[in-house]
Chains A and B, each alone.
Chain A
Amino acid sequence: MHLKSPEELEQLRTKILEERKAQEGKKGIVLCTGTGCRGAGALEVYEAFKKELGSKSAIDFKSTCCHGFCERGPITVVEPMGTFYQRVTPDDVPHIIAETVQKGQIIEDLLYQDPKTEQKIPTEKDIPFYKKQHRLVFGHNRLIDPTRIEDYVANGGYQALAKALFHLSPDEIIEEVKRAGLRGRGGGGFPAGRKWESCRRAPGDLRYVICNCDEGDPGAYMDRSLMEGNPHRVLEGMIIGAYAIGSREGYVYVRNEYPLAVENVGIAIEQAHKMGFLGQNILGSGFDFDVKISKGGGAFVAGESTALMASIEGYVAEPRAKHIHTVESGLWDKPTNLNNVETWANVPVIIEKGVDWYSKIGTEGSKGTKIFSLVGKINNTGLIEVPMGMTLREIVYDIGGGIPGGKRFKAVQTGGPSGGCIPEEMLDLPVDFDALTKAGSMMGSGGMIVMDESTCMVDVAKYFTHFLKDESCGKCTSCRDGTLRMYEILDAITKGKGKDGDIELLEEIGWATTEASLCALGGTAANPVLSTIRYFRDEYEAHIRDKRCPAGVCPDLITYTIDPEACIACMKCKKECPTKAITGEKKVPHEIIQAKCIKCGTCKEVCPVDAVKVE
């Protein structure tokens, strides 16, 4: 059905809601089949449900994408009670239907159990992971089947677009976004409203808007989950932005490694077209706008705006000089406005709820919420959305549930390879663009990687530097050779070949890489090294002077030994050792021949009594 006016949209929405209200109390099952849960087996669970329910079921079965609590996937919610089941397997399916759906009985084993109180918690909102979150942008994921536009409409979708097209002028919309204080969520934190304004004011007839879904930071997958789970929200933001800026053509650039996101946004574009939200004369407003999908080729640097535009044009993703800003001359030398997925997704909320409501959330300099991927050495791995200003401590402990295995927190890395590590003493820092930058890190796109006492910070710096050296486009001497040389030094340090003066040399190279490089990849490449030196200099010194890795990670600096008292001589490690470096027989305590040991860690993995020690 092609909607020709906002009135028709409202009529459709009312109709859908009435139909759904008539089925209120109807039993339903919601299963997350986002990429994360798929990895945990959600598709098998999906098939099991489909099979068990059959084709003519009175039970409503909906598959959505990412609910956020990825550690506990596959996630299944049973309506109308809202019972939250986690780590669901295909075997659980018949029981869920027979007991919970049909009889309303809760299956205790499938509930989330709070490790502290040992209480089983039946609904999402009471689970500590969710309690402190403010899921303004992300929350709708669990209500929407991304392949059904009706779900989006039923949940208020495209209301903001109608308001923008018929009740606000383009300049008024830009004012709203400016006053709301929306800052870019991709990492730059640039005020979105100002960007839109500059683009609108740039001379020329043709303008482009771009959605940057090239999420390249390892460990960050917020944009993917938004794109997979609620693509219409992002599209709606883009259409509103295009109207405000005066653009008729847009691109959604999705990285190559996100096939489900590409698929779902493709379906969404098609359905939006059919319904009249894209194309000509949108909702009868006279505004034309269309969007194409452009896929990345596998390059982190393509996330940089000018490199992304080069990629759309059919070239390698090499950044270009920005003396002339892209808002004036970008894609094909035309004025272009590029924003991140999450930035676009915030726009409908701002327009719908209004600036006063929106700007109450967050801090003075950072309004609204931010979605983070909380991963690494943390109990509750997943995607979280919190108001700006919440402290890192609250995030790590209250939402994240602290560090597994009772280990000690060491640092949290924010901002991906462009960011830095924040140590324990700064855990009370609020998540805020400026606060994080001052601490030597940055907000970045939202990756938050938690590290504990068994993480070696020199190894972390080496890891990021290796990544950046690999991903650098290679144009600038300072970035290409800067990351290469920093990597060489870090590698030597982790192999026990560090020299006095290495730290100072790293700082010197890091300075030049930052100052002399063209784009933000090079411009921030030294951050992981410099921030770990800043807060964990003692680890560097231990590696260099004492040839020791305090965290027990760097293979050349650690020794694996078998504790003769703990060893039960079961021969397991001896069997698995790839270099036959373990001696011993049944009832004879095993020993590792150091000369043959390659520090692969296999023996430690297989030992049933944890007799293998690392020093």
Chain B
Amino acid sequence: MSEKELVKFQIDGLEVEAEKGQMLLPVALEYGFEIPHLCYHEAVSPYGACRLCLVEVTKGGRTKMTTSCNYPVDAGIEVATATENVLRARRMILELLLARAPKSEHIVKMAKAMGIEESRFSVIEEADGCILCGLCERVCREVVGANAITFVSRGDRREVAPPFWDPLACIACGACVYVCPTDCIKMEEHGDERTIVRWKRTLKMQPCQSCGKPFAPQFQLDWIIDRAQLSKDFYELCPVCRKQKK
């Protein structure tokens, strides 16, 4: 009952309304407030890793800087999305991230918007564009359920990889490619093979019985058939031909 309760609060002086317990960031975005964010995606649970979506929230007389992606809204809170402190923190975060993903168009654009042309920090080559936002591993775990990749180690040695660098569980669905904010996970297709480049996963694709085009990795199709308990020949046709058949 209380979950459906509507609460009124303020963002940058504007009175807004949302369901109690909803996360602040999506609410603010819907109202048109521009809060930069990288590790937030509506398809997966919020994580709070990138720290870019920081805002200042005043509740019960106390003001705190907090990430908005995982902050549950409550009645009477006052949110400030662009105070001096918030901007200062945002700038440093972007400068740090720029050194991890200097070629990411998205990050370069956000940095420029805050007046950062170049990072004062040396580029971390091994990062290979990854900002450790975790969207890839979250989508793989929460949405797809393949659990093919994970965070590894900790601190500055943290990275995302398949266990033992052996991508056995990866079904090459491309969900991670889709959600990655820096575009550092690439998918390539050559002939009848699909490769998720970052995880070094190459799988042979099944050709369509009708048009002959390879359309999805065999391994992936078997995986889906298994889980959804479909008949073995369920995916004989590619999506296009299947539609036409109907």
Residues of A within 8 A of B (CB): 299, 301, 316, 321, 323-324, 469-478, 480-485, 488, 505, 508-509, 511-512, 515-518
Contact = CB atoms under 8 A, between A and B. Distances in A.
A517 B51 contact: yes
B96 A477 contact: yes
A518 B151 contact: no
A202 to B, nearest CB: 15
A508 B71 CA distance: 26
A474 B127 CA distance: 13
Interface in B139-159: 151, 153-158
Interface of B: 47-52, 54, 65-67, 70-72, 85, 88-89, 92-93, 96-97, 99-100, 120-122, 131-132, 151, 153-158
Contacts of B51: 476-478, 516-518
Given A474-B132, A478-B96, A505-B120, A321 B155 contact: no
B155 A469 contact: yes
Contact of A474 (B71, B121, B156): B156
Nearest to B89: A516
Contacts of B70: 321, 323
16 contacts: A299-B154, A321-B71, A323-B70, A469-B155, A469-B156, A470-B156, A477-B93, A480-B158, A481-B97, A482-B96, A485-B96, A485-B121, A512-B89, A516-B54, A516-B65, A518-B48
Contacts of A470: 155-156
A329 to B, nearest CB: 11
A204 to B, nearest CB: 15
B48 A475 contact: yes
B131 A477 contact: yes
Given A480-B156, A481-B121, A511-B92, 5 more contacts: A324-B72, A480-B155, A483-B156, A509-B92, A511-B88
The 4 tightest CB contacts between A and B, nearest first, are A474-B158, A512-B92, A481-B96, A472-B155
Contacts of A517: 51
B184 to A, nearest CB: 15
A475 B138 CA distance: 13
Contacts of B154: 299, 301, 316, 471-474
B151 A508 contact: no
Contacts of B132: 474-475, 477, 480
A323 B156 contact: no
Nearest to B59: A323
A526 to B, nearest CB: 12
Nearest to B69: A321
Contacts of B120: 505
B155 A475 contact: no
A315 to B, nearest CB: 11
A484 B93 contact: no
B156 A484 contact: yes
Contact of B72 (A323, A509, A515, A516): A323
Contacts of A509: 92
B86 to A, nearest CB: 9
A489 to B, nearest CB: 9
A395 to B, nearest CB: 33
A96 B33 CA distance: 79
Contacts of B67: 321, 518
Contacts of A301: 154
A478 B155 contact: no
Most chain-B CB neighbours within 10 Å: which of A476, A478, A481? A481
Nearest to A319: B48
